[in-house]
């Protein structure tokens, strides 16, 4: 659901957009930190916020880090 948000902010189209691993952080909702494969050798780290269910909103892309590799550790940012 956040692929269009990422592509719009990066002004690019990703043929591959595959989540590899993720971590969560409980806030007033949930923060997801997700490592996503965007090409054969390129990865990005996404921070996605999912609000509480009663707010009835979809996930939103808060921030991202580009230039990552498969071996880069997924950390909170």
Phi, psi for 68 (deg, rounded to 5): -95, 160
Residue 31: what pLDDT? 96
* Alpha carbon distance, N-terminus to C-terminus of the chain: 20
How is the chain split into domains, by residue range? 1-68
- Please write the tens of the pLDDT for every residue from 1-36: 899 999 999 999 999 999 999 999 999 999 999 999
Predicted local distance difference test score (pLDDT) of residue 17:
96
Q: How far apart are CA 70 and CA 59, in angstroms?
A: 24
Q: In 3-state terms, what secondary structure has residue 49?
A: strand
Residue environment code for 11-32, b if the CB has 16+ CB neighbours within 10 A, otherwise e? eeebeebeeeeeeeeeeeeebb
| Mean pLDDT of all residues in 49-53 | 93
Domain 1-68 has what CATH class? alpha beta
How much is the pTM?
0.90
pLDDT at 44 (0 to 100): 97
Write down the pLDDT at residue 56.
87
């Amino acid at each position: 659901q956040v692929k269009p948000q990422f592509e719009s902010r990066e002004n690019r189209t990703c043929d591959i957009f595959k989540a590899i691993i993720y971590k969560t952080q409980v806030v007033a909702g949930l923060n997801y930190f997700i490592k996503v494969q965007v090409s054969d050798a390129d990865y990005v780290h996404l921070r996605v916020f999912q609000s509480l269910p009663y707010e009835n909103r979809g996930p939103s892309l808060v921030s991202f880090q580009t230039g990552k590799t498969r071996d880069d550790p997924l950390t909170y940012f």
